[in-house]
Amino acid sequence: MEFLNAFIVSLQAVWAGSGFSHFTMGNGIMILVGLVLLYLAFAKEFEPLLLGPIAFGCILANFPETGFFAEEMNVMKAINFGITYEIFPPLIFLGIGAMTDFGPLIANPNTLLLGAAAQIGVFVALGLAMVLFGFSVEESAAIGIIGGADGPTSIYLATKLAPNLLGAIAVAAYSYMSLVPLIQPPVMKLLTTKTEREVVMEQLRDVTKFEKVIFPLVATIFISLLLPSIAALLGMLMLGNLFRESGVTDRLSDTAQNSLCNIITIFLATGTGMTMSAEHFLTRDTLLIIMLGFVAFIAGTAGGVIFGKIMYVVSGHKVNPLIGSAGVSAVPMAARVSQVVGAKAKPGNFLLMHAMGPNVAGVIGTAVAAGTMLAMLGR
């Protein structure tokens, strides 16, 4: 009898210490959210490199009694340190810079204006968040940056201004980045005529190696002096590009855009996903952030296309307005969407390289928008 009692007590202790005894409906909902995100990442191939680790981190964060967030959990402390102290986003930008050809932007600098115009979504969402929904100005700025469709910059700004909203902002930013092929085409078609979509643009001029090397240097010096708060992001972006274009640092370029970028992506995305615990994520604010992020993204796409229409008129019908949609900084997916929509309107039309100009400008533009808000808020 004593053995049976001891056995029952042992079973009760096992149950009491298990996750099942502490499992809540909120945990179940968030695990389901994680599974849906995994499906989108792996089955539908929506930003699988980013959405996959975020989704799995979300699932891990909602297992009770794991001890992941205990003080002595060194692995999680290391990941959180990299996010909290803004180490990971600049390193991601290093990889992006090494992957990106700034040639189309240098060949047609007017596309900088398209990248700037697409940032209107950032400020539309900022205004709505603050005026209609009562978010603080810091939280509103962090929410608004979702409209730039730039995950690392969104995480960077949220960490500085609204760390309590980091999980929701990161998921919204990366989700809308992955949904670019679904969200943008209807907006592009709605705002343009068939004649505008059929415009064939002149071939871009060749860009010299000297121009490609001097551009990141000039951009780093000017933007870092103007907006010191984003020197880390822009500096790493341009350093990665210098590795690419110098011609003598192939090993560094390869490491930045492959091994290093992949390792940091795993840490950054998984760590971000692990902020998505039920008690922090299942709130009214999360739903509002996702909704505002969608509005911001639509407004950013529309802003780029509308400015593209202005350039279409000013240039004497030589600019296809579709490339303006690439002004959001989802590189290179947004540029590919411009290509696809343009080719459907006129088979054989090749807009990809023209769209890469505003696409690269959008990366810079979103970082500048973030830096501007940090400067205005005295951060």
Query: At residue 271, does pLDDT exceed 90?
Result: no
Report DSSP letters for 34-49, one per residue.
HHHHHHHHHTS-SSHH
Q: Is residue 329 part of a domain?
A: yes
- 141-155, 261-275, 356-370, range with greatest mean pLDDT: 356-370
- Place 18 in a pLDDT band, splitting at 50, 70 and 90: confident
The predicted pLDDT at position 276 comes to: 84
Interval 161-211: pLDDT, tens: 998 888 889 888 887 887 788 899 999 999 999 999 999 999 889 999 999
Q: Is 1 helix (H, G, I), strand (E, B) or coil?
A: coil
Residue 163 lies in a domain: yes
Q: Is residue 315 part of a domain?
A: yes
Q: Read off the tokens for 37.
A: 């995100």
For residues 119 and 123, give the distance between their C-alpha atoms in angstroms, rounded to a whole number: 7
Query: What average pLDDT does this structure show over 309-324?
Result: 95
69 pLDDT more than 70: no
- Report the domain count for the chain: 1
Q: How far apart are CA 176 and CA 147, in angstroms?
A: 9
pLDDT of residue 74: 57
Query: What is the structure's pLDDT at 71?
Result: 58
Residue 227 lies in a domain: yes
User: Is residue 20 in some structural domain?
Assistant: no
Quote the pLDDT of residue 112: 92
- Helices marked H in 192-277: 194-197, 209-226, 231-245, 250-255, 261-273
**What is residue 41's predicted lDDT score, i.e. its pLDDT?**
87
Q: Which of 55, 92, 286 is nearest to 178 (CA)?
A: 55
Structural domain boundaries, residue 141: 102-247+283-376
* Residue 44 falls inside a structural domain: no
* Burial tier of 96 (Cβ tally within 10 Å: 0-12, 13-18, 19+): buried
pLDDT at 215 over 90: yes
pTM of the model: 0.86
**182 domain residue, yes or no:** yes
Chain centroid, CA 57 distance in Å: 17
Confirm whether 222 is domain-assigned: yes
Joined tokens for residue 204 = 């871009």
Report d(CA 167, CA 268) in Å as an integer. 11
Q: How do residues 335-356 score in pLDDT, each as one tens digit?
A: 999 999 999 999 999 999 999 9
Extract the tokens encoding 95. 């990889």
Q: Give backbone dihedrals phi and psi of 65, rounded to 5 degrees, phi first.
A: 65, 25
- Worst-scoring range by mean pLDDT, 39-43, 144-148, 279-283? 279-283
Where residue 37 falls among pLDDT bands split at 50, 70, 90? confident
Q: Are 66 and 277 in contact (CB under 8 A)?
A: no
Q: What is the mean pLDDT of residues 215-232?
A: 94
Find all residues with CB under 8 Å of 233, minimum gap 6, and list them. 89, 90, 93, 152, 153, 156, 367, 370
